[in-house]
């Protein structure tokens, strides 16, 4: 079927990314936004924009009924969920389809099956793919857990069955840590994903986190788009990604990509997805999970292969074949991506929300910046603190590193701290430059060095700027009569006033 209008059920940089792809495909677009996001670029970029109301995610970007109601009201044909929020909620996908709309993503059953880590591990095993040793059911009996942990050998990992992003995960190095960590993991998983189900796995120390991008259409075509190395993480969440991986040779790459295709085929998957693996010190690899959505780091694959993943998603949703064949896809050059978060690397990477009083992006050959903010806008406390993704592309890894280093120097963001300062240190670290790193890299090498504090004078300046901008924003908000999507010209006029 032909898609003529897409509602983007997301915000900030990923909403901008999808809107641009749709515009290039001559597809009309609809943005949604919470009250706190009213001035973000994605709102004015879309052909229509509708307010979801309260910034609380449960009342805005997670409000299934409101989003679908807006889609029907504006006569959209399809909904693209982006990543995060409702992107891996099979009930949302099912409801979108039941209302006669196209869900730009995998089938609801794909999301349901692969979103449960225990079910997905079972499917991987049946597909002949190695999995991490552990329990094959959720934890119910503490004594059974004690016994299984002894069999696996410490350390072990307690892990949420649903969701991802490092939530609902706890490492246990000895028996007396199990009980409390199980309770904590269950509580966190329940709050984050609505399910408190957790299971036990052998904890693989110092692994590489390698993932393979896949595409599958409704004509039986299943392709891989090579690997991304996502091992630089804090709190089990990715911070730097690159491709090709410095740790993957041609032999391992063939095994990983074949396994990714096997799992994708086994679950009759459709759309874009990512199969994630852990690789140990001896290059043994294990299936970790499958993300049934577009990944944050998808631009890495786009630069390395020349394939627009968002356009492929939309094309597949319309029933088209994937635009390339496997033999036509090649890795070319090297790409490194740094996620630019409003976080303080000098304070355990804690979120540091506030006003972007200064915001200027780098330019020049080999640089791509995917962002969703502009100068004078606020990074709010309600959502993920991602400001942008900074990508450097070169003919080889050394060139890409030099471009990234230069781009970080040119990137101007203030006064709130960001992960750019961490990226600068990483670019000039001898081990990282050699490609020698694991998922424990930040904890082991950088945290102790990064823990310094602003002096009293700097702290007062930052606090004063933030307070001034906050009260300025409050004053503006109180005097605005913001309409839903019906009056786009008024909305643009208000945005101009804000910028002035």
Percent of the chain at pLDDT exceeding 90: 80
Q: Average pLDDT of the chain? A: 90
**pTM of this structure:** 0.87
Burial of 454 by CB count in 10 Å (0-12 exposed, 13-18 middle, 19+ buried)?
Answer: middle
Query: Average pLDDT for residues 46-64, to the nearest whole number?
Result: 98
Does 469 score more than 70 pLDDT?
no
Beta carbons of 206 and 279 less than 8 angstroms apart = no
Does 479 score more than 50 pLDDT?
no
Residue 459 has what pLDDT? 44
Q: What confidence tens digit (pLDDT) does each residue in 265-306 have?
A: 999 999 999 999 999 999 999 999 999 999 999 999 999 999
Does 399 score more than 80 pLDDT?
yes
**Which residue in 91, 38, 84, 42 sits closest to 65, CA to CA?**
91
Burial of 147 by CB count in 10 Å (0-12 exposed, 13-18 middle, 19+ buried)?
Answer: exposed
- Whole-angstrom distance, CA of residue 316 vs CA of residue 500: 42
**Which residue in 307, 404, 329, 414 sits closest to 364, CA to CA?**
404
3-state secondary structure labels for all residues of the chain: CCCCEEEECCCHHHHHHHHHHHHHCCCEEEEEEEHHHCCCHHHHHCCEEEEEECCCHHHCCCCHHHHHHHHHHCCCCEEECCCCCCCCCHHHHHHHHHCCCEECCCCHHHHHHHHCHHHHHHHHHHCCCCECCECCCCCCCHHHHHHHHHHHCCCEEEEECCCCCCCCEEEECCHHHHHHHHHHHHHHHHHHHCCCCEEEEECCCCCEEEEEEEEECCCCCEEEEEEEEEEEEECCEEEEEEECCCCCCHHHHHHHHHHHHHHHHHCCCCEEEEEEEEECCCCCEEEEEEECCCCCCHHHHHHHHCCCHHHHHHHHHCCCCCCCCHHHCCCCCEEEEEEEECEEHHHCCEECCEEEEEEECCCCCCEEEEECCCCCCEECCCCCCEEEEEEEEECCHHHHHHHHHHHHHHCEEEECCCCHHHHHHHHCCHHHHCCCCCCCHHHHHHHHHHCCCCCHHHHHHHHHHHHHHHHHHHHHHHCCCCCCCCCHHHHHHHHHHHHC
Please name the fold of domain 208-450: D-amino Acid Aminotransferase; Chain A, domain 1 (3.30.470)
Does 193 score more than 90 pLDDT?
no
Range(s) for CATH 3.30.470.20 in the chain? 208-450
Active-site annotation holds for 293: yes
Query: Average pLDDT for residues 178-191, to the nearest whole number?
Result: 91
Query: Average pLDDT for residues 443-456, to the nearest whole number?
Result: 63
- How is residue 330 written in tokens? 């090649």
Range with the poorest average pLDDT among 30-39, 461-470, 488-497? 461-470
CATH architecture for segment(s) 133-202: 2-Layer Sandwich (3.30)
Query: Average pLDDT for residues 54-80, to the nearest whole number?
Result: 98
Beta carbons of 333 and 126 less than 8 angstroms apart = no
Query: Average pLDDT for residues 135-152, to the nearest whole number?
Result: 89
Does 32 score more than 90 pLDDT?
yes
**Active-site position among 17, 170, 270, 293:** 293
Q: Considering only residues 443 and 337, tell me which one the structure prediction assigns the higher pLDDT.
A: 337
Per-residue pLDDT band for 251 (boundaries 50, 70, 90) equals very high
Bridge partner list, 156: 172, 202
- How is residue 10 written in tokens? 């997301």
Does 492 score more than 80 pLDDT?
no
Does 476 score more than 80 pLDDT?
no
Does 138 score more than 90 pLDDT?
no
**Which residue in 73, 115, 118 sits closest to 90, CA to CA?**
115
Residue 139 has what pLDDT? 85
Per-residue pLDDT band for 451 (boundaries 50, 70, 90) equals low
Query: Average pLDDT for residues 133-162, to the nearest whole number?
Result: 90
Does 110 score more than 60 pLDDT?
yes
Beta carbons of 375 and 360 less than 8 angstroms apart = yes
Range(s) for CATH 3.40.50.20 in the chain? 5-104
Q: Count Cβ neighbours within 10 Å for each residue of 468-482 and write b for 16 or more, e otherwise.
A: ebeeebeeeeeeeee
CATH of domain 5-104: 3.40.50.20
Does 99 score more than 80 pLDDT?
yes
Range(s) for CATH 3.30.1490.20 in the chain? 133-202
Does 189 score more than 60 pLDDT?
yes
Query: Average pLDDT for residues 202-210, to the nearest whole number?
Result: 94
Query: Average pLDDT for residues 417-430, to the nearest whole number?
Result: 97
- Whole-angstrom distance, CA of residue 175 vs CA of residue 278: 24
Residue 481 has what pLDDT? 34
Per-residue pLDDT band for 141 (boundaries 50, 70, 90) equals confident
């Amino acid at each position: 079927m032909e898609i003529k209008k897409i509602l983007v059920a997301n915000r900030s940089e990923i909403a901008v990314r999808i809107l641009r792809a749709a515009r290039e495909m001559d597809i009309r677009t609809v943005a949604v936004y919470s009250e706190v996001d009213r001035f973000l670029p994605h709102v004015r970029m879309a052909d229509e924009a509708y307010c979801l109301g309260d910034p609380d995610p449960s009342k805005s970007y997670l409000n299934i009924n409101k989003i679908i109601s807006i889609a029907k009201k504006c006569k959209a044909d399809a909904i693209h969920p982006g990543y995060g929020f409702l992107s891996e909620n099979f009930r949302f996908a099912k409801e979108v389809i039941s209302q006669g709309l196209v869900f730009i993503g995998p089938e609801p059953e794909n999301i349901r099956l692969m979103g449960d880590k225990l079910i997905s591990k079972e499917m991987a095993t049946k597909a002949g793919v190695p999995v991490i040793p552990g329990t094959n059911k959720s934890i119910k009996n503490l004594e059974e857990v004690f016994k299984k942990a002894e069999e696996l050998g410490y350390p072990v990992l307690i892990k949420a069955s649903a969701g991802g992003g490092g939530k609902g995960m706890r490492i246990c190095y000895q028996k007396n840590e199990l009980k409390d960590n199980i309770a904590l993991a269950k509580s966190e998983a329940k709050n984050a994903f609505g399910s408190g189900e957790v299971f036990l796995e052998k904890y693989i120390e110092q692994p590489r986190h390698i993932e393979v991008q896949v595409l599958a259409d409704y004509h039986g075509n299943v392709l891989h788009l090579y690997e991304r190395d996502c091992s630089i993480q804090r709190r089990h969440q990715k911070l730097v990604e690159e491709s090709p991986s410095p740790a993957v040779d041609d032999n391992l790459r063939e095994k990983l990509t074949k396994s990714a295709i096997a799992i994708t085929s086994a679950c009759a998957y459709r759309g874009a997805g990512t199969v994630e693996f852990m690789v140990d010190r001896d290059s043994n690899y294990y299936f970790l999970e499958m993300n049934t959505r577009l990944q944050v780091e998808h631009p890495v694959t786009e630069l390395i292969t020349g394939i627009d993943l968002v356009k492929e998603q939309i094309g597949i949703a319309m029933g088209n074949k994937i635009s390339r064949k496997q033999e036509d896809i090649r890795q070319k050059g090297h790409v490194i991506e740094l996620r630019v978060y409003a976080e303080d690397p000098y304070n355990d990477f804690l979120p540091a929300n506030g006003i972007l009083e200064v915001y200027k992006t780098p330019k020049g050959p080999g640089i791509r910046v995917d962002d969703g903010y502009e100068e004078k806008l606020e990074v709010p406390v309600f959502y993920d603190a991602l400001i942008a993704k900074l990508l450097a592309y070169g003919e080889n890894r050394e060139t890409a590193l030099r471009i990234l280093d230069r781009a970080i120097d040119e990137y101007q963001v203030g006064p709130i701290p960001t992960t750019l300062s961490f990226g600068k240190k990483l670019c000039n670290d001898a081990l990282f430059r050699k490609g020698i790193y694991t998922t424990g890299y930040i904890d082991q090498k950088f945290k102790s060095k990064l823990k310094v504090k602003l002096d009293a004078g700097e702290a007062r300046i930052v606090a004063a700027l933030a307070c001034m901008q906050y009260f300025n924003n409050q004053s503006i908000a109180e005097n605005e009569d913001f309409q839903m999507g019906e009056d786009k010209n008024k909305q643009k006029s208000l945005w101009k006033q804000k910028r002035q």
